[in-house]
Chains A and B, each alone.
Chain A
């Protein structure tokens, strides 16, 4: 684990195996309807992944949560993963994830980033990160600060390149 998240981290570590094993079972049960999730939790999680850093906006300001919901609309296992992971995020501390202090959110996400890839928290972290990066950096304002045009055409990048 790259970062020990203090009290809350200890709680997470202690409960993760128990929680995850239970949720993993539910995740695998495709017969159950996909439970709803709190969109504020997903947005808050994505904003921890990609916050406003003064150069480019936060994920939610770029419409990333909606983009992921759209992608998940056609992919039931992803919808199920989002629902279960958001549920986990909302129960892992003493308040819903979106209501936590920034430091606590950071600590939880840092733990997720190094957890077992075969368990829901890490899998969720990885998939959301991949999708969020893809969506945010495909946005017209997501490339600010990079030596790139909004699109490679129609101008291209003719030489000189020095």
Chain B
């Protein structure tokens, strides 16, 4: 097959890059290691038993991941994870793998199970080092990203508020914000007394019909997969648009197992496996978009005499600067609150402490979010297995009485890269195709602990003001590693000695190799969900590729 560009990974970045290239007239082969999903049959939310089923995990849709050092635990400080039914959930001495690296491999990637928060980075978050002396600045500013943010928002259909604070806009959101649910309204009231201004969140879920897709009907199960297609996952937005150009060839279940280099550092071909056969595909341009774990893994695995540290790794930065999702979340019951399970997941967000320097004693910021639906407190199973203890008729009565009164708040914060936190290759274990397994090593720094303490203190005070008597569940990064957002393992920068790609995503070491996923993020931001930024950067990368 003769194509202009091959892209590896059909998730947020790969799909956006594919669209961006196709619309500019280039032909693209898009490969994904995982399967295709059928929203109608794979997300059965219309049958009893729905609460037992998470997002489906067919063969090939999850990578095998190994975990190395996740850090030791210091003083508890009230940060341990627990719930009212099971008690303490973690270990007393070491941080353990909780949910682990939460991801989907397949056509649409992790956008298939994401909530769909569509956040722009705070402009100051891109100047973290300048403003705080810690972390790294981005090699581009907010003004350079803004047109691409706006484009992505219109391509996928983002519903958001008029007031966007420091995140200035060149155009309004294409759709009006979603109404706030009962839990969010309670946080709006309670937050006002604590400097937390909860407002409608920017969401890649349709508040009105848009481009042939229906409006959201608020089933509140975004993370189990959206059967309606109103959530702006890549499979219902960028990929249909790219396919409609007639210039995209999409192959699922096709893991890439080798990259081949030629003269002048160019990548000349790759090998992928599909239907049991190994295919060598030549390409003038290669874009990697496998995410901040698989992209560095693939690069590190291509070690040879000319590239003893793997490809694109003259700086030694591939796999380094790994940033996990630093999260704290807690839940309690609010007497008198009803219907807290209703409404859109993450419908309200507070950005008051999001800018670098907003949290005393820490670099980087944090955002707070209404989290009842994201904590899966939308059905009785979650209540009965996590919040309401006991047994017998009294238990059943208490569950009925409590249902709909849970209030959850979550907080996500900045992670500053640390030399100990990185992706490496396993020394002996490989996947079915002989590629070494990736190993995640991720420890919490003093800055992360300061942020976690702030998140917990602020969040508990907020819940108390909202009417929560006692916290019945707490889930934190302090003792359990669980990451939906991962960043930094092939970071962008101007200095080829300190970064892997330039500000357009082009590798310093290989002129026709580009990266279009969150590995290029120099910093994590103060809790912003990354998909919108990944896609904005990917469109920018596509424009640079097309421009030659």
Which residues in A have some Cβ–Cβ distance to B below 8 Å? Answer: 48-51, 53, 55-56, 106, 109, 113, 117, 126, 129-130, 133-135, 137-140, 142-143, 145-148, 150-159, 161-162
Contacts and interface: CB of A to CB of B under 8 A. Distances in A.
A130 B227 contact: no
B50 A151 contact: yes
A53 B50 contact: no
Interface stretch (B190-198, B282-290, B374-382): B374-382
B396 A53 contact: yes
B86 A138 contact: no
B520 to A, nearest CB: 36
B385 A138 contact: no
Interface of B: 45-52, 85-87, 179, 181-182, 216-221, 227-228, 338-339, 342-343, 378-381, 384-385, 390-393, 395-397, 400, 403-404
Contacts of A161: 179, 181-182, 339, 342-343
B48 A55 contact: no
Given A48-B391, A138-B381, A146 B86 contact: no
The 9 closest A-B pairs by CB, nearest first: A156-B217, A152-B219, A133-B384, A153-B45, A137-B380, A140-B48, A153-B46, A53-B393, A156-B219
Contacts of A151: 45-48, 50
Given A146-B380, A153-B227, A161-B342, A55 B46 contact: no
Contacts of B392: 48-51, 106, 109
B391 A138 contact: no
Contacts of B50: 138, 151-152
Most A Cβ at <10 Å: residue of B179, B218, B221: B218
Contact of B218 (A49, A134, A158): A158
A53 B391 CA distance: 12
A158 to B, nearest CB: 6
Contacts of B390: 113
Nearest to B49: A138
A83 B544 CA distance: 65
Classify the secondary structure of A's interface with B. Answer: loop
Given A152-B219, A152-B221, 10 more contacts: A49-B391, A50-B392, A129-B85, A130-B385, A139-B48, A143-B380, A146-B380, A151-B45, A152-B46, A156-B216
Contacts, number: 112
Contacts of B219: 152-153, 156-157
A159 B179 contact: yes
A109 B391 contact: yes
A157 B182 contact: no
19 contacts: A48-B391, A48-B392, A53-B396, A55-B396, A55-B400, A56-B396, A126-B86, A133-B385, A137-B51, A137-B379, A137-B384, A138-B52, A139-B48, A146-B400, A148-B379, A156-B217, A158-B217, A158-B218, A161-B181
B396 A50 contact: yes
Contact of A113 (B87, B218, B228, B391): B391
A61 B342 CA distance: 30
A51 B393 CA distance: 6
A60 to B, nearest CB: 14
Given A49-B391, A150-B48, A151-B46, A157 B220 contact: yes
A149 to B, nearest CB: 10
B381 to A, nearest CB: 5
A53 B228 CA distance: 37
A145 B400 contact: yes
B50 to A, nearest CB: 5
B53 to A, nearest CB: 9
